[in-house]
């Protein structure tokens, strides 16, 4: 993951709000990108950095809640802080249930926004770390041969070596060799750790004829 600082996106159709928030956030060391239309934000190429979106509920093209749904559909995993001068309880409940970090009514103080941003960025950093770990495990699985992946699949199901040998139509010693290679390539010291890695990765095994 890049060592660059967090990036804050601001989506608000009021240019003066965008300008004020950009000045505030830049003064606190953030990189800031502002947009007056949701579509422009969606079209922007978001770098893989810890980030947060400060989002107005009412926008001229699509409203903030719809943008939140579009981001989820496109797998844009950026935490959202909603800001609005026209909010209500149903809106805030819907936003929070969909994963928003906070819902700030205008006018809000710089401290309120900065506190919300601190929480959002901390959350996003953890998500980035978790995703990086998953990708690392998946890359290890991809280094396995097709037969080693079969063995890993059966080990993850809790099968013993002799059961795997019978399932794959081979001898016990061959399975022991494959299993040893799997443990080495997956960098797992125990079967419990190996199973945990597979579960964490969410990896979907290719189904071979022998399966």
- Over the stretch 121-139, which tens digit does the pLDDT of each residue have? 998 999 889 888 999 999 9
Q: Look at residue 53 and tell me whether its pLDDT is greater than 90.
A: yes
What is the average pLDDT value for the chain, to the nearest integer? 89
Q: Look at residue 1 and tell me whether its pLDDT is greater than 90.
A: no
Assign domain 7-130 to a CATH class: alpha beta
Q: If you average pLDDT over residues 164-169, what whole number do you get?
A: 94
Residue ranges of the domains in the chain? 7-130, 143-201
Assign domain 143-201 to a CATH class: mainly alpha
What is the pLDDT, as a whole number, of residue 202?
A: 81
Which residues are 104's β-sheet partners?
A: 83
Please determine whether the domains at 7-130 and 143-201 fall in the same fold group of CATH: no
In whole angstroms, what separates CA 85 from the centre of its chain? 30
Beta strands 51-56 and 7-11: pairing type? Answer: parallel
Q: How far apart are CA 184 and CA 175, in angstroms?
A: 14
């Amino acid at each position: 993951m890049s060592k660059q600082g967090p990036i804050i996106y601001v989506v608000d159709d009021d240019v003066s709000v965008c300008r004020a928030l950009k000045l505030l956030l830049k003064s606190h060391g953030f990189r800031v990108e502002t947009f007056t239309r949701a579509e422009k934000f969606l079209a922007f190429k978001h770098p893989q950095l810890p980030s947060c979106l400060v989002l107005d509920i009412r926008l001229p093209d699509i409203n903030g809640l719809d943008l939140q749904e579009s981001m989820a559909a496109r797998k844009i995993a950026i935490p959202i802080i909603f800001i609005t001068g026209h909010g209500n309880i149903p809106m805030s409940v819907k936003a929070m249930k969909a994963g928003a970090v906070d819902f700030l009514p205008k006018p809000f103080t710089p401290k309120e926004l900065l506190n919300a941003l601190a929480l959002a960025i901390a959350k996003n950093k953890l998500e980035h770390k978790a995703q990086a770990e998953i990708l690392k495990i998946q890359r290890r699985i991809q280094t396995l041969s097709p037969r080693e992946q079969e063995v890993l699949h059966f080990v993850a199901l809790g099968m013993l070596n002799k059961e795997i040998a019978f399932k794959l139509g081979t001898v016990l010693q061959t399975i022991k060799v494959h299993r040893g290679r799997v443990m080495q390539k997956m960098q797992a010291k125990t079967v419990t750790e190996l199973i945990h890695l597979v579960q964490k990765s969410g990896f979907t095994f290719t189904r071979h004829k022998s399966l």
